[in-house]
Structure 1
Amino acid sequence: MARKSRHHYRREDQAAELDITTFLNLMVVLIPFLLVSAVFSRISIQELNLPTEAAGGAKLERPQLSIEVIVRKELIQISDGEKITATIRNVANDYNIKELSRQLQELKDKNPETKEATLLVEPDIDYETLIHIMDAVKVVEVKKADGVGFDRKVLFPQISVGDAP
């Protein structure tokens, strides 16, 4: 029996080439797209205060009027801290934001020094509704005297948020 000779070839250690052209092509397309789309997405931060009783801090002097806007599934109530002064029912299964703005504007006209309001919300109220009501509590758009355009009037800019009773 004849022995077969085995040939052992020695591999030369070569540096492996990394083909990144497809990755670079992807980046060339993706980066400008992300930069352009980032301009259109804006995030605004809403500054909120916790109610002073819930925060556990020292009791501060409270203004004469304590405005509370209570948001329930079927209505919105406005309270002076002691009793409910107004009840605004939903119109066509949606909150009546215009009536809320009108009621709050009347309260602001009677108490111009008051800047705080507490927004008490039931747990099943969605986030978008909460933001619309917060906007209505903060500012109202009033028609200008000449009838052209609107002015923004600040109502109660310092909003505290809590759970509805």
Structure 2
Amino acid sequence: MRRRHRRLTASAELDITAFLNLMIVLVPVLLLGMVFSQIRMIELNFPGMETGEAPDAESFQLVVTLLPEGLEVADSERGLIEAFPVAGGRQNYAALSSLLQRIKGRVPEKTDVTLQVGPNVDYQTLVTAMDTLRSYPAVVAASVVEAELFPDVALVSAGETRALAANPENGDREGA
């Protein structure tokens, strides 16, 4: 006697449970670990006054001029405080920071400064100068923090023909 073998025709089901579990865990981990592009913004205040408003005569207006030849620090009322010519092809940000720290010590409530930018100053020099004006590294409780100098920076064009002033040698420094 011959037996007939029937083939069992069963549909095969895909078991994707393990794959779905992997995706449920993997997607949030990848999203949390992803570094989004960070954009740092520097807030600028452009100088200008409302119509009919007069500036205070006794106010101290600190002006820092950034030129390809160097840096100048001046008081708009009294004139040049100090000039820092470029040395070795680099701006002297350390001397600028030191002078600004001394000025901040004398006028601690002052938070604004005007930055005049000369022609042909590259972007990185401008950003480094703004960072130098805004804060300096200070040691507090055995850790380095950024101490505030003049965080309110107003940006102005210095003009096409602006040149670095001569540094007052042993002269009268009324502004500092």
Residue of structure 1 in register with 2:61 after alignment: 66
Report the TM-score, using the length of structure 1 for normalisation.
0.68
Does residue 117 (structure 1) correspond to residue 113 (structure 2)? The answer is yes
SS at match of 2:95: helix
**d(CA) in 2 for partners of 1:112 and 1:128?**
28
* Offset, 1:149: 3.5
**d(CA) in 1 for partners of 2:136 and 2:51?**
32
* Offset, 1:106: 0.5
**d(CA) in 1 for partners of 2:128 and 2:82?**
19
* Offset, 1:155: 0.7
Aligned with 1:154 (options 148, 152, 156)? 148
Residue of structure 1 in register with 2:16 after alignment: none
**d(CA) in 2 for partners of 1:41 and 1:69?**
32
**d(CA) in 2 for partners of 1:44 and 1:58?**
36
User: In the alignment, is the contact (CA less than 8 A) between 1:65 and 1:80 conserved in 2?
Assistant: yes
One-letter code aligned to 1:67: L
> Which has a greater percent of helix?
1
Q: Equivalent pairs: percent with the same residue?
A: 28
Residue of structure 2 in register with 1:99 after alignment: 95
Question: Could you tell which deviates more after superposition, 40-49 or 112-121?
Answer: 40-49
**d(CA) in 2 for partners of 1:65 and 1:91?**
29
* Offset, 1:40: 5.8
Residue of structure 2 in register with 1:87 after alignment: 83
Q: Superposition pairs for residues 17-28 of structure 1, below 5 Å?
A: none
**d(CA) in 2 for partners of 1:91 and 1:119?**
21
* Offset, 1:57: 4.7
Residue of structure 1 in register with 2:165 after alignment: none
* Offset, 1:150: 1.9
* Offset, 1:123: 2.1
* Offset, 1:52: 1.6
SS at match of 1:124: coil
Which stretches in structure 2 are left out of the alignment for 5+ residues? 1-30, 160-176
**d(CA) in 1 for partners of 2:156 and 2:38?**
26
* Offset, 1:41: 3.2
Which stretches in structure 1 are left out of the alignment for 5+ residues? 1-34
SS at match of 2:137: strand
* Offset, 1:60: 5.8
**Superposition RMSD in Å:** 2.4
* Offset, 1:151: 2.8
